[in-house]
Amino acid sequence: MQQKKFYITTPIYYVNDVPHIGHAYTTIAADVAARYQRLEGADVFFLTGTDEHGQKVQQAADEFGVSPQEHVDKLHQRFKELWVRLNISNNDFIRTTEERHKKLVRDILRQLHSKDEIYRDSYEGWYCTPCERFWTEKDLAEGNCPECQRKVDKIKEHNYFFRMKKYQRWLVEKIKNDPHFILPASRKNEVLGFLEKPLEDLCISRPKSRLAWGIPLPFDEDYVTYVWFDALINYISIHGSLDDIKTSKFWPADHNMVGKDILTTHAVYWSTMLKAIGLEPPKNIFAHGWWTVNGQKMSKSLQNVVEPNQLIDQFGVDVIRYFLLREVPFGLDGDFSHKALIGRLNSDLANNLGNLLNRTVNMMKKYCGGIIPVPATVAAEDNSLTEKSAEVIAEVRKLYNELAYNKILQKIWELVDATNQYIDKTGPWNLAKTDAGNERLKTVMYNSAESLRVLGILLNPFMPQSTESLMKQLGVATAIEEQGMNSIDKWGGLKSGSQTQKANPLFPRIEDKQAEKILAEISAPKKDAAHQITIDEFMKMELRTGKIMAAEKVKKSKKLIQLKIDIGTETRQVLAGISASYEPADLVGRTVIIVANLKPAKLMGIESQGMVLAAGDGDTIMLAGFDQEPGQGIRVR
């Protein structure tokens, strides 16, 4: 039989964002599906990566005084590092600034342009700079951007357009006729609702004069590619040239997994782009829901962003992976709370699964000398456990088709519960009292351990680390991926005669006192604890007056001015991002405040020995100053 191929992707994450549980959620969900398919023996390709072009990246790089490329080279590491910690088994990591990606984007643009799928036209519309999107008059929300509510600018310019609207009918038919194409069904209906309005052609360029950080259009160097048109191509750019993709075993993808917020861009832009290129759309686009935190949207200003690295330190990686997929039906929105996480850890993981393993390994030691016995007699109860196991395995396999992770876990827990009940009912502690009982005991102990092995395999995609440790305790030396799903097709794969190993509990309980402490720390108003400083801390900062003796623009930087500042005892070279509001010549002779004990840092290869205080950002910056002349080197406090 031909080996099954399986290709799954996550969205590529905006490189500027600090990774949070929302990003972790998509990636863990895709990882579980990839790991499961590997256990089924499929040839799997799992892709994730970072989205590295666009206005926000350019702005952030300017603020740091580095080139956009240097900026993204550094920032994308945060995602890579988090995926290692979360045990994500991606086969590749695509960055949109890599040559392999840029080349395919250019080839596709060239091809679509030559086929007249892309044309030039003048355009007038409302543009939201932070979102990098055009809106029509009727899209606006009280005159502002409907997405971020910020002010929009009326722009008239020439741009390039992809003939998207001509694919509208094809797309509607595709969505209606292929029930698996967009899941869950409720989201599919949202897309169909969106497609009831006439589609516009898609503006796929931005003038370089406004945005330089993007892939230049191969047929007009004055423009760069719109970031979505660039980013979506990541799903195929890892497979080589267009010809390679046409024959690739990994296209079309089995799942392009996305959050609900980016379903339209995938279902509409991406599918029609592929149609125009002459490639199949993905077999499925799955849109999951969003996490709020204690009922609120996660945001920097609310200081409620849940940071996965901290969660891992506090609870362990598998607890996070389990919780995110168990707590909420995949596809619906969910609310994150540490309390709920601790609840699941204590009940599902510590009390049910962890305790089952613990008691089995303990009894194995006590009644069987720590050696997996050869099962002897078989009674009705034993059959009911093996039947339950077969039922759970069959159902889990089915549920993976819909990526119904929380149902899969619920189903697996039926086997956890059935095994605990089996032990309670058969009572090894009583069986051990008689000779006949001792014979039966061997079967009971074997079956309990075999059931745990089945659980280890079924749970491995969700909790890779803990299930390997579970296998070790059962005395199974073969790695789970090698055992595979077909090792549980038939009951009895566990080898009699293996030596079990006692180990620390897989999931230590969080006792009430400890839980209270954790919850109190989390809910303590951050402003009080983390955001106030003492007077001593403030006094550590050496603020001094200084006179600007010379000023010149830093070449190649839009923002930076290089200043020579006399602070009484010496002259400092300081770089300041103020050129939007000041001409170098106007600065000479001014008295400013500088942070004099700041560690020197290099910006654009030039050392800056301090920092000048100013208010504002972007286009309006005001230097802090005095209403009288204080002289140089005076301490400011």
Binding site for ligand MSP (CB under 6 A): 11-14, 17, 22-23, 25-26, 51, 231-232, 234, 258-259, 261-262, 290-291, 298
Query: Rounded CA gap, 86 and 506, in Å?
Result: 17
Of 112 and 431, the one with the shorter C-beta distance to ligand MSP is 112
Opening angle at CA 180, ends 86 and 101, nearest 5: 55
Place of tokens 């619906």: 332
Amino acid at 630: P
Instruction: Quote the least distance from Cβ 28 to ligand MSP, whole Å.
Output: 11
What pairing do the DSSP bridges indicate for beta strands 291-293 and 133-135?
unpaired
Residue among 101 and 411 whose Cβ is closer to ligand MSP? 101
Of 70 and 333, which CB lies nearer to ligand MSP in the complex structure?
A: 333
Using alpha carbons, select from 417, 438, 281, 449 the residue that is nearest to residue 352. Answer: 417
- Least Cβ distance, residue 12 to ligand MSP (angstroms): 5
CB 257 to ligand MSP: min, Å: 8
Q: How far apart are CA 357 and CA 468, in angstroms?
A: 13
Query: Using CA atoms, how far apart are residues 20 and 31, in angstroms rounded to an integer?
Result: 16
- Cβ proximity to ligand MSP: between 232 and 317 the closer is 232
Say what angle helices 55-64 and 68-85 make with each other, to 10 degrees.
100
The Cα–Cα gap between 579 and 619 comes to: 9
Contact of 598 with 542, CB cutoff 8 Å: no
Element of type H or E holding 371: none
Angle (deg, nearest 10), helices 380-400 and 405-426: 170
The nearest distance, CB 348 to ligand MSP, in angstroms, is 22
Residue 199, number of CB atoms within 10 A of its CB: 17
Question: In terms of CB distance, is 162 or 367 closer to ligand MSP?
Answer: 162
Sole residue written with tokens 């009292």: 433
Query: Residue 634 Cβ, how far from ligand MSP at the closest point, in Å?
Result: 47
Q: Torsion angle of alpha carbons 166, 171, 176, 177, nearest 10°?
A: 100
Q: Cα separations (Å) of 50 from 12, 101, 430, 634? A: 4, 12, 59, 47
Name the closest residue to ligand MSP (Cβ). 259
Select 96 or 460, whichever has its Cβ closest to ligand MSP.
96
Least Å from the CB of residue 259 to ligand MSP: 2
Q: How far is CA 454 from CA 36, 96, 483, in A?
A: 14, 41, 10
Amino acid at 272: T
Tell me the closest approach of the beta carbon of residue 76 to ligand MSP, in angstroms: 12
Angle 504-507-508 (CA atoms, 0-180°, nearest 5)?
75
- 53 sits in the region (left: phi over 0; alpha: psi -120 to 50; else beta) called beta
Closest to ligand MSP by CB, 23 or 239: 23
Shortest distance, CB of residue 154 to ligand MSP, whole angstroms? 26
The least distance separating ligand MSP from the CB of residue 232, rounded to whole angstroms, comes to 5
Q: Judged by CB, which is closer to ligand MSP: 14, or 219?
A: 14
- For the CB of residue 218, give the shortest distance to ligand MSP in the complex, in Å: 20
Least distance to ligand MSP, CB of residue 248, Å? 18
What is the rounded distance in angstroms from the CA atom of residue 252 to the CA atom of residue 120?
Answer: 30
For ligand MSP, give the closer residue by CB, 17 or 220. Answer: 17
Return the SS3 of 525: coil
CB of 13 to ligand MSP, least distance (A): 4
Between 91 and 632, CB nearer to ligand MSP: 91
Q: Which is nearer to ligand MSP, 10 or 37 (CB)?
A: 10
Looking at beta carbons only, is 291 or 315 nearer to ligand MSP?
A: 291
Query: How far is 317 from 481, CA to CA, in rounded Å?
Result: 19
State which residue, 6 or 270, has the beta carbon closest to ligand MSP. Answer: 270
Nearest Cα neighbor of 219 from 109, 317, 350 is: 109
Q: Closest by alpha carbon to 245, among 142, 450, 103, 60?
A: 103
Given a contact cutoff of 8 angstroms between Cβ atoms, the answer to whether 305 and 20 are in contact is: yes
**In angstroms, rounded to a whole number, what is the distance separating the alpha carbons of residues 57 and 115?**
32
CB of 327 to ligand MSP, least distance (A): 12
CB of 51 to ligand MSP, least distance (A): 4
Dihedral sign of CA atoms 355, 361, 367, 372 in order: positive
| For ligand MSP, the closer CB: 298 or 621 | 298
Q: CB within 8 A of 291, min separation 6: which ones?
A: 21, 22, 25, 298, 306, 324, 328, 333, 334, 335, 336
